[in-house]
Amino acid sequence: MKTVVNPLSINEHLPAGKETAVLFVLSTCPFCKAFRPLFDAFAARGGGREFLTVVLDDFGNPLWDAYRIDVVPTVILFSGGAVKARRDGRAGAGLTGKDLETL
């Protein structure tokens, strides 16, 4: 699984022809830190998908607005470069393993 910090575009990190689950996090977010091991375990199972973590520590990064990320962690499933599904973190709660299972 790959991790990138503050990219300005996601497309260059999405492998062609594969669904990719992208986890958007802040490095200082306690909910992101708690969720990351769940995401890593889910990624280890594979299932034919690729997995990517994007650290958005720069609040001026255009990806916040491009993908309407209001709360982290957020997981977005891309297919062919387009958003196929997403699970948005809940303020004060983050995400759970159940959120991943339903992705």
Phi, psi of 73 (to 5 degrees): -75, 150
Write the secondary structure of 18-30 as one string of H (helix), E (strand) and C (coil): CCEEEEEECCCCH
Q: What is the pTM of this model?
A: 0.94
* 68-93: pLDDT as tens digits: 999 999 999 999 889 999 999 999 99
d(CA 38, CA 80): 25
* 12-67: pLDDT as tens digits: 888 888 899 999 999 999 999 999 999 999 999 878 899 999 999 999 999 999 99
Sign of CA dihedral 97, 101, 102, 103: positive
CA 12 from centre of chain: 15
